[in-house]
Amino acid sequence: MSLQRARVLAACSHRQPDQVPKGEFGIEPGLRQRLLGLLLKEQRIMSHPNKAESPKDQTDREMAELISVLVGLDMDLTAANPYFPPRQDLRPDPRGRQRWLDFWGNEVIEVGASTGVVRPVCSGIKILLNYAFPQLETVDLAMIMRWSQETPFFIFSQVPGPFSLLAGLTSFLDFLRFTETNQLELKQLAAVTGQWLGDLLQACINAGAQGIVITEDLTYNRGPWIDIKVLRQVFWPALAEMVELAKKAGVPVLLHCDGDVRSLLPEVVDLGFNGIHSLQPSAGVNLATVKAEYGSRLCLMGNLDCDYLLPQGTVAEVEAATRETLRVGSPGGGFILSSCAGILSSDWPAENVLAMYRTAASASQEL
The predicted structure's pLDDT at residue 130: 94
280 occurs within a structural domain: yes
Task: pLDDT band for 52, please (50, 70, 90 cuts).
Answer: very low
Beta strands in the chain (DSSP E): 26-27, 77-79, 88-90, 99-101, 107-111, 114-119, 154-160, 211-215, 219-220, 223-224, 253-256, 275-278, 299-304, 335-339, 343-344
Contacts of 300 (CB under 8 A, 6+ apart): 275, 276, 279, 287, 290, 291, 294, 329, 334, 335, 336
The answer to whether residue 111 scores a pLDDT higher than 90 is: no
CATH number at 152 reads 3.20.20.210
Quick one: which of 3, 25, 316, 323 has its CA closest to 155? 25
What mean pLDDT do residues 73-101 have? Answer: 95
> Residue 60's domain spans which residues?
3-84+122-366
Q: Count the domains in the chain.
A: 1
- Mind listing the pLDDT tens digit for each residue in 230-250? 999 999 999 999 999 999 999
Task: pLDDT band for 45, please (50, 70, 90 cuts).
Answer: low
CB 323, CB 359: distance < 8 Å? yes
99 occurs within a structural domain: no
Measured at the CA of 331, the angle between CA 330 and CA 332, to 5 degrees, comes to 110
Contacts of 206 (CB under 8 A, 6+ apart): none
The predicted structure's pLDDT at residue 47: 47
The predicted structure's pLDDT at residue 41: 86
The answer to whether residue 120 scores a pLDDT higher than 50 is: yes
The predicted structure's pLDDT at residue 27: 98
The predicted structure's pLDDT at residue 136: 96
The answer to whether residue 351 scores a pLDDT higher than 90 is: yes
The answer to whether residue 64 scores a pLDDT higher than 60 is: yes
The answer to whether residue 366 scores a pLDDT higher than 90 is: no
103 occurs within a structural domain: no
150 occurs within a structural domain: yes
Please tell me the pTM assigned to this model.
Answer: 0.94
- Mind listing the pLDDT tens digit for each residue in 272-285? 999 999 999 999 99
- Mind listing the pLDDT tens digit for each residue in 165-179? 999 999 999 999 999
The answer to whether residue 226 scores a pLDDT higher than 60 is: yes
97 occurs within a structural domain: no
Q: What is the DSSP string of 147-172?
A: HHHH-SSEEEEEEE-HHHHHHTTS-H
The answer to whether residue 187 scores a pLDDT higher than 60 is: yes
310 occurs within a structural domain: yes
The predicted structure's pLDDT at residue 199: 98
132 occurs within a structural domain: yes
Question: φ and ψ at 90, to 5 degrees?
Answer: -120, 170
94 occurs within a structural domain: no
The predicted structure's pLDDT at residue 57: 83
